[in-house]
Amino acid sequence: MNRRVLFVHAHPDDESSKGAATAARYVDEGAEVVLVTCTDGDAGDVLNPQAAPIAPDAMRATRARELAAAVAAIGFTRTHALGYVDSGYHEDPSEVAEGTFSRIELDAPSRQLAAILRRERPHVVVTYPENGGYPHPDHIMNHLVTMRGLELAEDPGADLGDGPSAGHAAALSPWRVPKVYATSTFPLERLEALHTAMLEAHGQSPYTEWLESRADKVPAEVPDARVRCGEHFSRRDAALLAHVSQIDPDGFWFGVPRDLEREHYPYEAYTVLRSDVLVQPVEDDLFAGLNVAAIDRGQDPATAPTARGA
C-alpha cells in the first residue's frame, strides 16, 4: 500500500529549493513522489555567474534539461509539466506580459492539474502559501491553481476533459486529497538557528541583513510540520547544482555549510493549508494521521486501526 505525495511547483528549480530533501526522503521510504511543474522557466535569466551564457531561444530547452537532471537526483517517481509560459520576475507587476502563467485565467491550468490529481490520487499535496512564499507572480498563481485544482478534482460534476471524448475509456473518478501543505522554506526559526550557529562557528552569517529586514515584519510562527531530512540534504544539493543556469555553487543556497545545517536545522518546514484529519503540531511526517489503506478503499481518512489503538 503505497503512500503518495504530489508537489506542485512554479518553475524548473523550485522543486530543488523547496521540499527537495523531503521528497528524496519519501522516495527512499518507498512512497510515490510526483512532481508537477507549471511553467517552462523560459523567462529565467542566467543567475549563476559561473555558467556559460545561454541564447534566449535556448533557455526553454536548457531549463528542461536541467529539470530532468534535478528530478533524477531527487528520484521523483513521475513528473508532469503543465507547460505554461514563465511570467518572469518584475518589480512592477504591470510589466508582466499577457499570456504568461500569472496572467491567464485560472480555469485551464486548474483543470489540467485536477485531471492529474484524479490520475495520481495523492494522499498529500504540497504547494506554496497564499502569498507565494516569495513575491513572484507565478508562485502566487501556483497556490491559486493548486487550490482550485483540488476543488475540481473532488467535484463529481467537474468535467475535466478526461472522459471518452478525450480518448480515455471513462472519466477518472473524483479524488479528494486529505492533506494539503504549503512549503515554509525560510521560517524565522530556521533563519535564527542557522544565523546563530554561523556566528558562533564562523563569526559571520549570510543572513544578518535578511534577519534585520524581516525580524519585525514576520511573525515568529512555528511550522505545523518539520520533516527531518538532514540525511537527504546531499540529494537536494545535487538537484540544486543540476540547475547550472540558475544556481551559483558559491551563492545563496550554499551560504551555510551542510554539516552545520544538519546539526542545527535538519528539517524542511511546512504549514497546513487543509486537512481532513486532526493535525497535532509539530508533525514530523506529512502523512501523519492518515490511514492511506483506508483512504484508498474510499473510507474515512482517519480510521487508522493503529491510531485508534486497535
**Which span (9-17, 103-111, 157-165, 190-198) binds Zn ion, by CB under 5 A?**
9-17
Output 77 or 183, the one with its CB closest to Zn ion: 183
Q: Which residues contact 262 (CB under 8 A, 6 or more apart)?
A: 230, 231, 233
Asked whether position 120 contacts Zn ion by CB under 5 A, the answer is no
Please check whether residue 118 is in contact with residue 173, taking contact to mean a CB–CB distance below 8 angstroms. yes
CA-based nearest residue to 43, from 131, 146, 129, 136: 136
In angstroms, rounded to a whole number, what is the distance separating the alpha carbons of residues 127 and 38? 11
In angstroms, rounded to a whole number, what is the distance separating the alpha carbons of residues 37 and 15? 8
Asked whether position 11 contacts Zn ion by CB under 5 A, the answer is yes
Q: What is the DSSP letter of 244?
A: T
Asked whether position 283 contacts Zn ion by CB under 5 A, the answer is no
Q: Answer left, alpha or beta for residue 30, where phi above 0 means left and psi between -120 and 50 means alpha.
A: left
Task: Compute the least distance from the CB of residue 24 to Zn ion, in Å.
Answer: 19
**Which span (5-13, 144-152, 161-169, 174-182) binds Zn ion, by CB under 5 A?**
5-13
Q: Which residues contact 166 (CB under 8 A, 6 or more apart)?
A: none
Asked whether position 15 contacts Zn ion by CB under 5 A, the answer is no
Strand, coil or helix: what is 293? Answer: helix
Output 63 or 179, the one with its CB closest to Zn ion: 63
Task: Compute the least distance from the CB of residue 14 to Zn ion, in Å.
Answer: 4
Task: Compute the least distance from the CB of residue 239 to Zn ion, in Å.
Answer: 14
Q: How far apart are the two ends of the chain, measured CA to CA in Å?
A: 19
In angstroms, rounded to a whole number, what is the distance separating the alpha carbons of residues 310 and 253? 46
**Which span (14-22, 104-112, 254-262, 301-309) binds Zn ion, by CB under 5 A?**
14-22
Please check whether residue 144 is in contact with residue 273, taking contact to mean a CB–CB distance below 8 angstroms. no
Output 11 or 63, the one with its CB closest to Zn ion: 11
Q: Name the grid cell of 238.
A: 545535487
Q: Name the grid cell of 133.
A: 512564499
Q: Quick one: which of 14, 32, 120, 283 contacts Zn ion (CB under 5 A)?
A: 14
Task: Compute the least distance from the CB of residue 10 to Zn ion, in Å.
Answer: 4
Task: Compute the least distance from the CB of residue 243 to Zn ion, in Å.
Answer: 11
Asked whether position 224 contacts Zn ion by CB under 5 A, the answer is no
**Which span (4-12, 122-130, 224-232, 288-296) binds Zn ion, by CB under 5 A?**
4-12
Output 140 or 256, the one with its CB closest to Zn ion: 140
What is the number of the residue whose Cβ is closest to Zn ion?
Answer: 11
Please count the residues of this chain forming the interface with Zn ion, following the rule CB under 5 A: 3
Task: Compute the least distance from the CB of residue 89 to Zn ion, in Å.
Answer: 8
Q: Name the grid cell of 215.
A: 525580524
Site residues, Zn ion (CB under 5 A):
10-11, 14
